[in-house]
Amino acid sequence: MIAAARDLSQGPDYRFAKTVYRWRWLSSLVVVVAVIYIFISGMENVGGITESVMNTDDISDGSGTIAPQMFDPSLDVWFDTGDATVKAYFDIEKQFIAEDYVLVTFENTEDEFGVFSPESLTAIQRLTEQFLTVPGVRHVRSLTYSPWIRWGEVAAGDGAEKGLLFSDLVAQPPGDLTEDDLVERMVAVLGARRAADKIGELRVRRFLGDDADFDQFQGEALLLDSIVDQAATTTAIQIQIIRPNVEGFSDNSALVDKLYSVQYQRSALRGIEHFLNIESGLSVKTRAYRDMENWVSSLPAGAEKSRLSHSLLDPTKNFIKNRQGETIKKYHVYRQSGDGDYVDVADLSAGISTPAGFSPSPLSPYTFRLGGVPVLERNFEIVGSADAKFLPLMFLVIIVALALLSRSLAGVFIPMVVVFASIFGTVGSLFFTGTLFNNLTAMMPNMITAIGVADSIHLVSAWLLMRGYIDDKAELIIEVIRKNALPVLLTTITTAVGFCSLVLNDLTPVKQLGWSMAAGTIIAYLLTMTLVPLLLSLFPHQNMRKSGRGGLWSKSLSEAWASLIVRRRIPVVFCSCLIVLLSCIGLLFVKVDADQRRMFKQENPVLLDLIWIEDHLGGTGDLEIIFSSIGDREDRVGLTEEEAKALEVLKARRIAVSGGVEGIRPLTGEELSHLDALQIRYDAWDKTRIGVLPEFLQLVERFEHRLREEMAKPDSELSIITDLTSPLDILRKIHQVQNGDNPEFYRVVNESDIPGLSKQASIKFDEFSEEYSYTPPQTAATLAAQYYLQYENGARPGESLTAQLSPDRRHFRMQGRGLLCTTQEKQAAIEKINRIAHNEFPALVAGSSSPEPLASLSISGKKTLMDRTGVIVAESFLKSISVALVVILIVIGVFFRSWKLGLVSALPNVLPIVIPLGIFGWLDIMIDGPAIVVAAVALGVCVDDTIHFFTKYTRAINAGSSTEQALAQTFRECGDALTLTTVVLIVGFSTLLMSSFSPNYLMGILAVSMIALAWFADFIVTPAALALMNAESSSNLVAAANSPFGRHVGDVAAP
């Protein structure tokens, strides 16, 4: 047998390989211990963060624990802090209440009164009262729990007076309502004509009067088309869930505060669903819980009984400690399985149990559907968790593929050890720095799997190929290291450099992906160069006689393939360049977008509910239009209490003097100057209170009407917006009621609404205090302020205007509900709103053509930001990957000392990426952010294949081989490793094609196609380009062969 072709001890590569082999135990121990330490430290950080979240407050299901907090849900990491939309969103949370809305909807098509039937109103009232008890729910709006503003008797008895009334639409038990009561409420909400369409004109006229003008009864804008549809068959219970701001509440980090806020909302959503399960008969008390109830009720009154009673009734917790200190389940929660049977899913940790003969006994006959941003956010997590099962499946498929292709235990065991250790090290390094997964970095295990397989398989494949030609085990492993150490090092450097280029990106998640994957690439290299030699030395050395065959790429196949490529080099290179050119043109038509309607399978229950709600009541997405006063100059600062009092006194004296009141001293010149100065300051400050400023209110009303015009047009960009609400709804309603409920007064106030005498300031002598009191002139602004005050004094605290109008009246909030749509459609709607504001209402927009704008305009929304995330990631990543590709090509050219080789390497590295994306562009297929990230994996595989191919090829050229001989030897030496890597990764990533989450499915398609094209490029395009280049000039290849990666000493070539 051949020990070696030449004296292997002559070169530095052999000495390096021998050193690695000699110290394999110590180096492996150091690297493995370091990986274990990083992983354990990272998981301890996760545990500490999780514990901090729980220490803030118990938001568990009663078990006292929550899932480890490995995912960062915060939105701000995705955007530049200077982004106007992001800034507007966080300004909203500062100025107003931070909240999200959940809609609970159902329909009643059987009763003639629809959802106004006593049965429906009873269910609504019962659920409303229950939802109000859920921790985290700030307010609920429904048909029974909504401010009913009307004119009526404010005091009973002989001295009854009439005035403005505020009450719930249904304050009494719905079963006590007469038919006239129901009709009255239908008219109040739907309007007379819609009510007549529903229950008949005769009934409505019997209540309103035969001569009643139906046009005088338009309905309630706050409820119509948002809480109830115009046909009165569908209704919603709108639940406001707060996002608690605990920043500064404790020593928690900002990350812990954000995680707690998310879990807090999840807890509230759990409580809402608990009551819906009871209503639907799907939650039933356990026997242990009934025993607990009986025991608590027998306790004497006191703090202990109060505490236990509260725990028993807490709808967010389905577990509780009994008197023995054992954790018991409060309710069985039943779900119908695919075969129609009911199963108890309340305690998934104990497994799903199937009850015998269970049949639900619902309290009401309705099917409830949930919608809203919190529901959609949670669905992402549910689907993501369901798809997490594909990661183990991917590993299983990779193991099977390795076993079938390598037909060796070492070919399976060693690469998987490297993969798992690399994943632990990479994930641990991320957590070690206090950083958690986000939607982008969560894909690291898939990406590091590709790198780990690619690195280790080259050494294992070389070991399998050469063990029949080298007798000594140590010399065999040393030769394996010698042949692959430098190519693996170069692939590590180029891949790490490519990922490091992502750090230049503006987006924090992309930066995190860049540095963590660069670290993971280095970890995979260290594990490959330490663990692989060690593990190979533990496997028995088999003396396999050379046969000229062995492996996937036999000698005959390699020579035949090389001959074919050399003969067809010109058409191959020409066609490849043409395909790349056409693909690049297709890239111009690629639609980088996101559409949450396509992110889930059509049978996804949350998606079905959202679509149903859209069809019946309009959209569930949020749109925020915020107007803020231009008040950041010093002259816009309000008066102090003393200055305001002084201004009143000076005004009163001036009026008294002008009115000839005796005993009042005229104002001095100094006092007149002081009065003017105070008045100027007051007027400047008062102008910033846009919430009551008549000019602003009238402009905003016109602006709203203009938006509604566009919303009604099917082909308008604003057709995706289905509802708008603002403080104008309250202001106009009160103004209408105060003016005899005349629909003509359903508008904002103006100066014509002020009686003439009230427009003049006056003074009045108080005989008791013997002083003159000043009465300021009545204006439209003061009238609007009075209306707001009347509403806040009469409505429930949860209905206060603080969610839409800041207490200082300087920030005005208009909220819209939008349909599920693409990001581009949402962005087009925002741009349309901005154009309307700038072009038609410039006074509402700072920086517009208006010389003195009244306010600044910003548009945002949580759903809007969520939609933009994928697009921003995709656009940023495409830029970063382009930079990475250029850097990698330069590195290849420098290391091989040949700029032509650097250019040649561009074709096989670019082709696999641009062809699939180009096809997507030509076929008008939309791609989003997470899916496009798979290009990084494809680029890594391409670079790995190219470098190993170039290294083997240039070494063969340096040994005096012809182009065809060098290609044949290259195919023989690295063909097995590259083919094995390609097949394994294709099979592994193909498991994503079973995903129910569209971005993951799309990622699977791109990964499989790009990795397959990478093999095609390196076994067809690369050799053809090298053959064509060598035919033109061999000087560059000689230089490359003499580079550190081209020189070799005593290569043992496989026959």
Each residue's pLDDT tens digit, 1010-1027: 889 989 988 999 899 888
Measured CA to CA in angstroms, residue 356 lies from 72, 146, 341, 370, 720 at distances of 41, 43, 9, 29, 47
**Which region, left, alpha or beta, applies to residue 157 given φ > 0 means left and ψ of -120 to 50 means alpha?**
left
Query: 3-class secondary structure for 376-413?
Result: HHHHHHHHHHHHCCHHHHHHHHHHHHHHHHHCCHHHHH
- pLDDT at position 865 is 78
Per mean pLDDT, which range of 4-18, 113-127, 854-868 is the poorest? 4-18
Residue 64, sorted as left (phi over 0), alpha (psi -120 to 50) or beta, turns out to be left
Greater confidence (1014 vs 998) lies with 1014
Residue at 249: amino acid letter: F
Provide the pLDDT for residue 1046. Answer: 46
| Rounded distance between C-alpha atoms, residue 506 and residue 733, angstroms | 47
What is residue 165's DSSP assignment? E
Name the H helices within 959-997: 963-989
Among the residue ranges 468-482, 496-510, 528-542, 598-612, the one predicted with the least confidence is 496-510
How high is the pLDDT of residue 1040? 45
Residue 637: other Cβ atoms inside 10 A? 12
Q: How is residue 454 written in tokens? A: 């690619």
pLDDT digits (tens, 9 = 90+) for 920-965: 889 988 877 666 777 777 777 788 888 888 888 888 888 888 889 9
Q: What is the pLDDT of residue 1034?
A: 45
Residue 262 to residue 681: CA distance in whole angstroms: 44
For the stretch 402-421, pLDDT in tens is 888 888 899 999 999 999 99
Contact 329, 347 (CB under 8 A): yes
Q: Which amino acid is at 45?
A: N
Whether residue 156 is predicted with pLDDT greater than 70 in this model: the reply is no
Phi, psi of 789 (to 5 degrees): -65, -40
Instruction: Provide the pLDDT confidence category of residue 10 given band limits of 50, 70 and 90.
Output: low
For residue 1033, pLDDT beyond 60: no
pTM of the predicted structure, to 2 decimals = 0.85
What pLDDT was estimated at residue 294? 93
Q: Rounded to whole angstroms, how far apart are CA atoms 864 and 819?
A: 11
Residues of the chain with CATH 1.20.1640.10: 12-53+406-546
Confidence of residue 246 (pLDDT cuts 50, 70, 90): low
Domain covering 12-53+406-546 in this structure, CATH number: 1.20.1640.10
Report how many helices (DSSP H) and strands (DSSP E) the chain contains, helices first: 33, 19
234 burial level (CB within 10 Å; 0-12, 13-18, 19+): buried
* 5 contacts 1044 by C-beta, under 8 angstroms: no
- Residue 728 forms beta bridges with which residues? none
- On the question of pLDDT at 249 being above 80, the answer is no
Task: Give the least confident one: 99-113, 236-250, 579-593, 606-620.
Answer: 236-250
Q: Is residue 41's pLDDT more than 90?
A: yes
| Percent of the chain surpassing pLDDT 90 | 38
DSSP letters, 842-885, are GGGSTTSS-SS-SEEEEEE-HHHHHHHHHHHHHHHHHHHHHHHH
Could you report the per-residue pLDDT of 416-466, keeping only the tens digit for each?
999 999 999 999 999 998 888 877 788 888 889 888 988 899 899 889 888
Residue 820 — φ and ψ, nearest 5°? -65, 130
d(CA 112, CA 191): 17
pLDDT attached to residue 833: 95
Tell me, what amino acid is at 309?
S
pLDDT band at 724; cut points 50, 70, 90: very high
For the chain, the average pLDDT equals 85
Report the amino acid identity of residue 142.
S
